[in-house]
Structure 1
Amino acid sequence: MTWPALLEMQFMRHAFAAASCIAIAGSAIGYFVVLRRQAFAAHALSNVGFAGAAGASLLGIDPLLGLFGFVLASAVLMALAGENVGQRDISVGMILMFSLGLGILFVNLYSANADAAIGILFGSVLGISDEQLHMTLVTSLVVMALLILMFRPLRFASLNAPAARGRGLPVTALNLMFLLLLGATAAMAVPVIGSLLSFAIFIGPAAAAQAWTGRVASGLALTITLALLESWGGIAASYYINWPASSCIAMLSFAIYALGWLSSRRPRWRRSARRAHPVAS
């Protein structure tokens, strides 16, 4: 079998495989993040891992273990904040502030861990080891399996939480489970694409897809397709133009989101133009 030039190197194959896992699981979770208006929680969970990685390095533990532990614990705290949007955002902001403060403290207490902890913020999609690839694959499979099991009640609770509660669905438990899945996905994505740019996968494709279709099933399929295209295109672009892969993925994500936003606004512009310049009869 003859590989394309960029796939002849093992690190590039690892990059495509890991990015594909993250694109599928991250964008599927991201669709419900946008549907449930929890983008701030996704952003916070992607960033609180910095404190966990820094603290683990300070204690001589694998930074990835600290990352996962801190992110999942933060997800539980966010779930306890309740479902009121205003109160929830305040709680998420406070958790984010506290965790970033802890991260800075840990780095200052032991400066030798700074490179490992700060590296978490930016990721290294072109430096994925066999162990990281295996962890990414297993985590994405578990997340997708649980998301499939939760799909129907989660869709109902996301679209109409009061009605779902009235039907007897455990909305609070669903919210907790969803945030744990979001946390696990964020912890998986951060070492690969970085905490600062994970929004490119979690939010961008879902926001664009929801601008084009209001149906959940087709929206999910389109979200995953866009995320895969952005991930593959970003990695390929980074290989040929020698730019950071995460930056290329983020730029593609923004471009597709902007296209979706503009296309959703076009009918409004046309209606406005017709009202301003009615056709003479």
Structure 2
Amino acid sequence: MLSYPFMQNAFVVGTLIAIVSGFIGVFVVARHMSFLAHTLSEIGFAGASFGLFMGWSPLIGMLIFTILASTTIGELGMQEKRSESLISAVSAVAIGLGIAFLALSQKNASAATSILFGSIFSISHANVVQVVVLALIVLVVGLLCYRPLRHFAFDYNTAIFSLKHVVLIEVLFLVLMAMTVAISSQVVGSLLIFILITLPASAAMRWGRTVWQMVGLSVLFGVVGVWAALVLSYWTNVPVSFYIAIIEAGIYFISLIKRDA
């Protein structure tokens, strides 16, 4: 299996994305912003479609749309009580724009399927380089800003008073979240991005006692899920995203049983 270059690329990209999603996901879940991850998946669809329309890589379009949307929606959602209505409206517009850009770009159905559900087995060497660079940026920045991010995510009410640059930390967090959403789409597609970001982290937070334990478990659950999904997909010719969804959901349900036991 690993003798094929496309499988080698898939394992490299899948592992990196699982690590990044597991790391950032803990802060996303702790900050109760899973809803924004789901919304960004729909905005990412519009961004990827825009990238195809412009003749760019879908990843570039997704990065532009998700970063702009995360900072804008995140700030408005924090400040307004009607954040749910705001997010619903933005999601509706994003889906409409995605459909329009796909139609205007005159791409076939396979292009839309790749955006929505991922196409990890068709990732090129250039795509691998893009994902590696972006993943390293997210991890390095996240680790350098670990302490303020932890304070911001796990104790927001005191962070807004004790952190000197809380607005900057908030924007940084939203940008890192947007970048994670964009690169994660290479594995599970824009429709299922929130799976890798929220489910491993949610399960890990029921097992870990410290933040580092939560991060480690979240990364472990993500990597195990992606690796198992790649192997099963290779054997059965069923999409990787299906297996990732089933495996990560299974891990989460097991964590619920463990917590209630």
TM above 0.5, yes or no, is yes
Tell me the distance in 2 between the aligned counterparts of 1:60 and 1:125.
20
Residue 89 of structure 1: how far off its partner (Å) = 3.4
Residues 52 and 67 in structure 1, CA contact (< 8 A), matched pair in contact too: yes
Residues 148 and 163 in structure 2, CA contact (< 8 A), matched pair in contact too: no
Residue of 128, 146, 161 corresponding to 1:151 = 146
Residues 48 and 59 in structure 2, CA contact (< 8 A), matched pair in contact too: yes
CA deviation profile, 1:213-247 (whole Å, cap 9, x unmatched): 24211111111111111111111111223221111
One-letter amino acid of the structure 2 residue matched with residue 56 of structure 1: G
Residues 36 and 74 in structure 2, CA contact (< 8 A), matched pair in contact too: no
Tell me the distance in 2 between the aligned counterparts of 1:87 and 1:214.
34
CA deviation profile, 1:182-225 (whole Å, cap 9, x unmatched): 11111111133211222221111111111112421111111111
Paired position in structure 2 for 1:217: 212
Paired position in structure 2 for 1:80: 75
Following TM superposition, the consecutive aligned residue runs of length 4 or more in structure 1 with deviations greater than 6 angstroms are none
Paired position in structure 2 for 1:178: 173
The root-mean-square deviation of aligned C-alpha atoms, in Å, is 1.8
One-letter amino acid of the structure 1 residue matched with residue 128 of structure 2: L
Q: What's the secondary structure of 2:10's corresponding residue?
A: helix
Give aligned-pair identity as a percent: 33
- Is 1:108 aligned to 2:103, yes or no? yes
After TM superposition, the score normalised by the length of structure 2 is 0.93
Tell me the distance in 2 between the aligned counterparts of 1:182 and 1:35.
13
One-letter amino acid of the structure 2 residue matched with residue 62 of structure 1: S
Residues 29 and 182 in structure 1, CA contact (< 8 A), matched pair in contact too: yes
Change (3 A) 1:147 1:197: same
CA deviation profile, 1:240-277 (whole Å, cap 9, x unmatched): 232211111111001000000111112xxxxxxxxxxx
- Is 1:242 aligned to 2:237, yes or no? yes
After TM superposition, the score normalised by the length of structure 1 is 0.87
Residue 85 of structure 1: how far off its partner (Å) = 8.1
Tell me the distance in 2 between the aligned counterparts of 1:125 and 1:207.
24
Greater Cα shift, 84-93 or 73-82: 84-93
One-letter amino acid of the structure 2 residue matched with residue 175 of structure 1: E
- Is 1:12 aligned to 2:10, yes or no? no
- Is 1:45 aligned to 2:45, yes or no? no
